[in-house]
Amino acid sequence: MARLSYQGVDKVFSGDAVAMRDVTLEVEDGEFMVFVGPSGSGKSTFLRVMAGLESPTGGRVLVDGVDVTEAEPQERDLAMVFQAYALYPHKTVRENLEFGLRMRGMARSRRDERVTRIARTLDIADLLDRKPGQLSGGQRQRVALGRALVREPKAFLLDEPLSNLDPALRLHARTELARLHRSLAATFLYVTHDQEEAMTLGDRVAVLRDGRVQQVGPPMELYRRPVTRFVGSFIGSPAMNLYRCRVVRSAGVRLEGPGFGVEIGEAAPPGLADQVWLGIRPHDLTRVDTRPADFVGRVELVEPRGSDLLVQLRLDDESEATLAVVLPPQPEVETGDEIAVRVSRDRLHYFDPEDDTRIE
Ligand code: ADP
Ligand code: MG
Residues around the ion ligand 2 (C-beta < 5 A): 43-44
Nearest atom (ligand 1) to Cα of 11: 12
Q: What's the start-to-end Cα distance of the chain, in Å?
A: 38
The structure's pTM equals 0.92
How far apart are the CA of 50 and the centre of ligand 1, in A?
15
Average the pLDDT over 338-345 and give the result.
95
Residue whose CB lies within 8 A of the most ligand 1 atoms, among 45, 50, 159, for a mutation test: 45
pLDDT tens, residue by residue, 177-194: 888 898 888 999 999 999
Residue 15: the pLDDT is 87
Say if residues 326 and 341 touch (Cβ distance below 8 Å).
no
Measured distance CA(96)–CA(131) in Å, rounded: 9
- The three-point CA angle 78-100-191 to 5° equals 35
Pairing of strands 66-67, 4-12: unpaired
How far apart are the CA of 44 and the centre of ligand 1, in A?
7
Ligand nearest to the CA of 18: 1
Measured distance CA(114)–CA(172) in Å, rounded: 24
Count of residues for the chain?
Answer: 360
Residue 145: the pLDDT is 85
Residues with CB under 6 A from ligand 1: 13, 15, 17, 19, 37, 39-45
Measured distance CA(29)–CA(90) in Å, rounded: 37
Give the three-class secondary structure for 326.
strand
Average the pLDDT over 206-219 and give the result.
98
Residue located nearest, by CA, to atom 24 of ligand 1: 13
Q: Which residues contact 249 (CB under 8 A, 6 or more apart)?
A: none
How far apart are the CA of 160 and the centre of ligand 2, in A?
7
Give the three-class secondary structure for 175.
helix
Nearest atom (ligand 1) to Cα of 37: 3
pLDDT tens, residue by residue, 130-145: 999 999 887 888 898 8
Average the pLDDT over 14-32 and give the result.
96
How far apart are the CA of 84 and the centre of ligand 2, in A?
11
Measured distance CA(24)–CA(60) in Å, rounded: 9
Say if residues 341 and 224 touch (Cβ distance below 8 Å).
no
Measured distance CA(289)–CA(121) in Å, rounded: 55
| Angle between the N-to-C axes of helices 93-103 and 137-149, in degrees from 0 to 180, rounded to the nearest 10 | 20
How far apart are the CA of 142 and the centre of ligand 1, in A?
27
Measured distance CA(346)–CA(359) in Å, rounded: 13
- Mean of per-residue pLDDT scores for the chain: 93
